[in-house]
Amino acid sequence: MVWDRTLEKVEYLENVSENHLFLFKRQKKSIDLILIKSEENAPSLVAVGAWQWLIENLKHTSVSFFQSSKAFNGDFKVVMFGLIKNGASIAKADRFEQIKSFLSK
């Protein structure tokens, strides 16, 4: 029940690993994904200062972007909880929106 009310308020999630950053945004009937992949020779995305390095190197050949959107088949809270269960954390809008803005240019 506590998760139920919490998930109703969640709009953004992120899941970060050494070479991947998954940014999620919940829409009314779908979830949007921006995946950022860095090559092995790029700095780790979990390191201190990684976000700053990424912002400064968005056009670098070692950074790739993928976008996707998937419709919910049922309750969005089940989907969001599944993402959290698999390592995503609740996030603020800034990272998703900053990368979305960059990709829109």
What does the alpha-carbon distance between residue 83 and residue 61 come to, in Å, rounded to a whole number?
Answer: 29
Give the Å distances, CA to CA, from 73 to 32, 39, 53, 59: 14, 33, 37, 35
pTM for this predicted structure:
0.92
* pLDDT 10s digits, 50-67: 999 999 999 999 999 999
Instruction: Sketch the domain layout of the chain as residue ranges.
Output: 2-104
Judge whether residue 2 has pLDDT over 80: no
